[in-house]
């Protein structure tokens, strides 16, 4: 998708659709013919309200007038809602090109760079399609996709909008990369294939990202026995993916650590899932997809903060060699874990991943994981459930989520729920019972410890939906990519 600016006037632009916003109550809007149409439509300028006028006064074929709501309440959140509405209309009208003619007020209120960034990000998010596996032989016809987005600017806004468009394009492409990965069938995205995608991200970074892959004997040497145990039932070998981003300006004392759950397929192991429960388990590596994609965007944006990404990739399959309920595993951290349920495998691989990234001197750690079905009872498929051991870092993550437009509901970790992970046989068991998301978070916290600021985001609901929501399609959403990029930005500002 190409993003560009132009200093032409709205009446001179030859576009298939010209988009203009109208603040509530600020009518008349434009020429008499358009204002007559406004009266006919009963248009008042409420947020998201819109109509299309087939133009007979300008060079543009269509004029899309969209309501911006009250001027004194217009902000980035309102802008995102308007952009979602407009870009879905562009998609529904099968247009490959659109021109935005924002009023000075729209750009001044949110800022030129913020306007450009959100426009480019949301253009990428809304344009996404899931049909990568369809073929011409199956009578699939290539749909018309958005190719060119133009923004009309003046001398005062040109530089800001242009810079914002470039940043937004990088973020939108990263979200769609994460969507592609977790929409990919598990037969195609094996642990080693995920590792190959990580290597490609490093190669494309211009030397700012390095990638190390640990397999087999290397995993045994570092004590990654929990990861190895989960992998026992699969013919696909596990791999621990370790990526390091060092800014061109040099390494920073503060090192952000991102850990993503990367179970490329989860059958439940010997505690086998039902057929319905297994149907979409290709998405159980959505956390890994998001941390990898976020790192690619951070490198493109050249953010001046060091970042470490860890993905403990494996399948969880039933086999004669599978790890079994009742087994006791020794984790990389030295804690022993009794296997209460082989379908609680994600917290085992994350335990080794969190310990590993701590050993690499990450100063703050955030993990993203499709960890528990119980998360839906907290925040449904709208947002993640958040847990942490440090109020300041949890607050920073919450601020990043709000700024990025992604929802996180933080849950207090009452000490009483910690005992749910106790067992007679070992230090911990891997399934602590109700409330499932909280006891799972407490399990991970035993490995995060209390010295390193840590946040766990359970993204089981929002990472993969059965419905469209906002700019997200059905299927994989790439949840968390925008949040992590914003977290890196906020860490620079601190």
Rounded to whole angstroms, the Cα distance separating 144 from 148 reads 12
CA distance 111 to 465: 32
Residue tagged active-site, from 16, 71, 193, 273: 273
Residues 6+ apart with CB under 8 A from 139: none
3-state SS class at 254: coil
User: Which H helix or E strand runs over 211?
Assistant: strand 209-214
Instruction: Write down the catalytic residue from 81, 347, 364, 465.
Output: 347
- In angstroms, the CA 77 to CA 41 distance is 26
CA angle 370, 375, 377 (to 5 degrees): 155
From CA 415, how far away is CA 433, in angstroms rounded?
15
Whether residue 283 lies in the annotated active site: no
> Cβ distance 289 to 178 under 8 Å?
yes
Q: Which residue has the tokens 């990898």?
A: 292
494 in catalytic set: no
Could you tell me whether strands 306-316 and 239-245 are parallel, antiparallel, or unpaired per DSSP bridges?
A: antiparallel
DSSP string of 282-307?
GGGGHHHHHHHHHHHHHHHHT-SSEE
What is the total residue count of the chain?
Answer: 494
Cα three-residue angle 64-68-73, rounded to 5 degrees: 175
The set of catalytic residues is 273, 347
């Amino acid at each position: 998708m190409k993003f560009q600016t132009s200093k032409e006037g709205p009446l001179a632009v030859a576009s298939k659709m010209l988009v203009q916003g109208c603040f509530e109550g600020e009518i008349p809007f434009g020429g008499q013919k358009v204002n007559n149409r406004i009266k006919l439509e009963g248009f008042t300028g409420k947020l998201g309200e819109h109509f299309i006028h087939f133009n007979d006064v300008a060079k543009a074929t269509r004029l899309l007038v969209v309501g911006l709501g009250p001027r004194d309440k217009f902000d980035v959140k309102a802008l995102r809602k308007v952009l979602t509405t407009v870009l879905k209309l562009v998609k529904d009208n099968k247009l490959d090109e659109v021109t935005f003619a924002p009023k000075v007020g729209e750009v001044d209120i949110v800022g030129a760079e913020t306007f450009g960034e959100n426009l480019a990000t949301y253009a990428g998010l809304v344009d996404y399609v899931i049909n990568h596996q369809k073929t011409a032989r199956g009578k699939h016809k290539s749909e018309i996709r958005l190719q060119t987005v133009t923004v009309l600017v003046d001398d005062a806004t040109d530089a800001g909008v242009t810079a914002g468009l470039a940043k937004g394009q990088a973020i939108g492409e990263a979200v769609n990369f994460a969507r592609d990965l977790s929409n990919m069938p598990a037969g195609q995205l094996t642990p080693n294939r995920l590792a190959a995608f990580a290597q490609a991200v490093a190669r494309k970074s211009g030397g700012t990202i390095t990638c190390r892959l640990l397999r087999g004997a290397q995993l045994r040497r570092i004590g990654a026995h929990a990861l190895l145990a989960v992998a026992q039932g699969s013919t696909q070998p596990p791999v621990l993916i370790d990526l390091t981003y060092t800014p061109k300006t040099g390494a920073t004392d503060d090192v952000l650590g991102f850990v993503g759950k990367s179970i490329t397929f989860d059958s439940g192991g010997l505690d086998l899932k039902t057929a319905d429960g297994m149907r979409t388990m290709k998405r159980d590596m959505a956390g890994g997809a998001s941390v990898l994609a976020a790192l690619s965007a951070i490198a493109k944006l050249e953010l001046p903060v060091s970042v470490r990404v860890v993905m403990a990739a494996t399948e969880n399959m039933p086999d004669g060699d599978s790890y079994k309920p009742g087994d006791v595993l020794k984790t990389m951290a030295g804690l022993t874990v009794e296997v209460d349920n082989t379908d609680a495998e994600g917290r085992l691989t994350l335990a080794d991943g969190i310990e590993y990234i701590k050993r690499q001197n990450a100063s703050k750690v955030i993990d993203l994981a499709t960890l528990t079905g119980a998360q839906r009872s907290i925040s449904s498929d709208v947002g993640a459930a958040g847990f942490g051991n440090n109020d300041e870092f949890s607050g920073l993550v919450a601020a990043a989520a709000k700024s990025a437009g992604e929802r996180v509901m933080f849950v207090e970790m009452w000490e009483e729920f910690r005992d749910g992970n106790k067992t007679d046989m070992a230090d911990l068991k891997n399934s602590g019972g109700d409330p499932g998301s909280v006891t799972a978070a407490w399990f991970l916290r035993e490995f995060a410890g209390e010295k390193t600021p840590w946040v766990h985001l359970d993204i089981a609901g929002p990472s993969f939906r059965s419905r469209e929501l906002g700019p997200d399609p059905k299927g994989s959403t790439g949840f968390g990519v925008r949040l992590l990029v914003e977290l890196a930005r906020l860490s620079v500002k601190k």
